[in-house]
């Protein structure tokens, strides 16, 4: 070990950085040429270069063949979670929620208005105006929201109705066509049966007529 | 054309959390390999790998794109490795003369041992390297790992460690010298 350390420390050459640059092929053409000239003159640098080459060979015997799959549970942003949650509800529920929030806001604002009303007399007119403005704004917001929800609901109903009408009409058409075919079949069968029975009746009648003639030779007709 | 790291980052920041998994798949192998060579234990390397990607995800908005994403990720991983090393101090830097976990005395194969199957021979050499590397001071070990195994340039390593290129070269030189000494010591111990 002492020999090794001695050998290692023997390289008192100050071109260590150049040596590693050359060793890892990061030297420019000029640097390379310059260091190669130096190697011809400096035996310790040559020996060290060879030794480092062997160390690199050894280092490369340790290879990491595979990497385990990294399973991450990434935290989702609050807005992303909220958006997903809202998306789970139907549009009418979202509308109701919105109306609820608006109502709460309105109540809060009215409360603030009342508080403003209780301010000193000098500010009364200003406060009253503010309250009127606030009430008007709230009324307008509630009306707008209500109209919007009504429109959306009506549109949904209309769409459902149209869908149901189309489906029902198709079903009715199919059923009536089926009945019509059945009726035609029954009518044709009945017609055949009537024809058959009238033929049979005719032959029975003629049979009885013949028999009467044979059995009553003294009848008036004779 | 393959989507770039910067494009994936943009998508992730825009709210597409799933896009980040593309970055994980792309960089998990180098980050795991770096951590394993720094720490020497598979379990620790897995932990660091996971911590690195979680930290990267949480701080993605702080990544300004001045450096390469990979450099930023390596820096996070190295910081996590150093934290782990501090926690496990003493256990991580083991002497090459110590016995291993199962109590077996470490042995290095003789280069002239022709009868030994190649695979076994190579495994023993790899074990020697692993032990010699683990015994190096962390600042030299990380430079050797990044240069030799991850094949980063001196400039990239300097950027990751936030030190001058000359410091990187100097640490690499000293690290290689110490590796040489340790490997020779193992041979002479036979």
Tens of pLDDT, residues A198-214: 888 888 887 777 766 55
pLDDT score recorded for residue A217: 47
Torsion of CA B59, B60, B61, B66, to 10 degrees: 110
For residue A218, count other CB atoms closer than 10 A to its CB. 6
Whether the pLDDT of residue B160 is over 50: the answer is: yes
B181 vs B78: CA distance, rounded Å: 25
Q: Which position has the token pair 């707008």?
A: A144
Torsion of CA B149, B155, B157, B158, to 10 degrees: 160
**Nearest Cα residue in chain A from B29:** A67
Q: Which of B121, B51, B38, B37 is nearest to B82 (CA)?
A: B38
* CB distance A58 to B127 below 8 Å: no
Question: What is the DSSP secondary-structure string of chain B?
Answer: -PPPHHHHHHHHHTT-GGGHHHHHHHHHHHHHHHHHHHH--HHHHHHHHHHHHHHHHHTGGG--SSS-HHHHHHHHHHHHHHHHHHHTTTTSS--TTSB-TTSPBP----TT-TTS-HHHHHHHHHHHHHHHHHTS-HHHHHHHIIIIIS---HHHHHHHHTS-HHHHHHHHHHHHHHHHHHHHHHHHT-
Which candidate from B33, B58, B133 shows the least CB-CB separation from A67? B33
Predicted confidence (pLDDT) per residue in B59-117, tens digit: 999 888 888 899 999 999 999 999 999 988 755 444 433 334 443 343 443 444 444 45
**Nearest Cα residue in chain B from A67:** B29
* CB distance A1 to B185 below 8 Å: yes
pLDDT score recorded for residue A166: 82
Which candidate from A17, A61, A74 shows the least CB-CB separation from B129? A61
pLDDT score recorded for residue A125: 55
- Tell me whether residues B46 and A72 touch, CB distance under 8 A: no
For residue A83, count other CB atoms closer than 10 A to its CB. 12
A125 vs A195: CA distance, rounded Å: 102
pLDDT score recorded for residue A107: 81
Residue segments in chain A with a per-residue pLDDT below the cut of 70: 1-12, 75-81, 83-84, 113-129, 211-222
With a threshold of 0.95, tell me whether the complex ipTM lies above it.
Answer: no
* CB distance B145 to B82 below 8 Å: no
Which candidate from B24, B133, B166 shows the least CB-CB separation from A72? B24
Q: Averaged over B125-140, what is the pLDDT?
A: 91
Query: Is residue B97 less than 8 Å (CB to CB) from chain A?
Result: no
Residues from chain B that touch A69, judged by Cβ atoms under 8 A, are 28
Instruction: Kindly give, in sequence order, each residue whose CB lies less than 8 Å from that of residue A72, ignoring residues fewer than 6 positions away.
Output: B20, B21, B24, B50, B53, B54, B57
Q: Averaged over B49-60, what is the pLDDT?
A: 94
- Tell me whether residues B36 and A64 touch, CB distance under 8 A: yes
pLDDT score recorded for residue B88: 81
pLDDT score recorded for residue A77: 63
Of A6-10, B130-134, B163-167, the one with minimum mean pLDDT is A6-10
Q: How confident is the model at residue B5 (pLDDT cuts 50, 70, 90)?
A: very high
Which candidate from B46, B148, B181 shows the least CB-CB separation from A4? B181
For residue A8, count other CB atoms closer than 10 A to its CB. 17
CA distances from A177 to A111, A132, A170, A188 (A): 67, 66, 11, 17
- Tell me whether residues A69 and B28 touch, CB distance under 8 A: yes
Predicted confidence (pLDDT) per residue in A98-138, tens digit: 788 888 888 888 777 666 566 555 555 555 567 788 888 88
- Tell me whether residues B170 and A17 touch, CB distance under 8 A: yes
pLDDT score recorded for residue B79: 95
A134 vs A106: CA distance, rounded Å: 9
């Amino acid at each position: 070990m002492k020999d090794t350390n001695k050998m290692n420390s023997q390289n008192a050459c100050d071109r260590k950085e150049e040596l590693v640059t050359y060793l890892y092929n990061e030297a420019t053409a000029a640097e390379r040429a310059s260091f190669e000239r130096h190697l011809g003159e400096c035996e310790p640098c040559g020996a060290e270069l060879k030794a480092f080459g062997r160390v690199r060979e050894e280092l490369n015997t340790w290879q990491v063949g595979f990497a385990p799959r990294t399973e991450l549970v990434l935290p989702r942003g609050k807005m992303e979670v909220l958006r997903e949650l809202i998306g789970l509800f139907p549009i009418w529920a979202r509308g109701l929620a919105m109306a609820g929030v608006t109502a709460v806001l309105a109540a809060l604002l009215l409360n603030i208005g009342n508080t403003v009303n209780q301010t000193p007399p000098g500010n009364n007119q200003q406060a009253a105006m503010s309250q009127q403005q606030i009430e008007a704004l709230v009324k307008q917001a509630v009306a707008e929201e209500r109209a919007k929800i009504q429109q959306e609901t009506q549109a949904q109903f209309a769409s459902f109705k149209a869908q149901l009408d189309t489906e029902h009409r198709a079903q009715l058409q199919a059923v009536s066509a089926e009945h019509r075919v059945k009726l035609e079949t029954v009518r044709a069968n009945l017609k055949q049966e009537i024809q058959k029975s009238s033929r049979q009746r005719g032959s029975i009648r003629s049979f009885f007529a013949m028999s009467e003639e044979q059995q009553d030779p003294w009848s008036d007709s004779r | 054309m393959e989507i770039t790291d910067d494009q994936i980052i943009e998508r992730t920041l825009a709210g597409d959390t799933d896009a980040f998994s593309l970055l994980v798949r792309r960089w998990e192998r180098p980050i795991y390999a770096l951590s394993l060579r720094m720490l020497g234990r598979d379990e620790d390397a897995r932990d660091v790998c996971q911590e690195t990607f979680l930290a990267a995800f949480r701080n993605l908005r702080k990544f300004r794109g001045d450096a390469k994403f990979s450099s930023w990720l390596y820096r996070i991983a190295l910081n996590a490795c150093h934290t782990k090393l501090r926690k496990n101090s003493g256990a991580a830097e083991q002497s090459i003369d110590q016995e291993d976990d199962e109590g077996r005395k470490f042995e290095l194969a003789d280069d002239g041992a022709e009868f030994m199957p190649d695979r076994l021979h190579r495994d023993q050499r790899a074990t020697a390297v692993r032990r010699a590397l683990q015994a190096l001071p962390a600042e030299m070990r990380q430079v050797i790992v990044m240069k030799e195994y991850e094949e980063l340039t001196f400039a990239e390593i300097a950027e990751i460690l936030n030190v001058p290129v000359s410091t990187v070269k100097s640490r690499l030189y000293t690290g290689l010298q110490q590796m040489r000494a340790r490997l020779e010591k193992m041979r002479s111990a036979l």
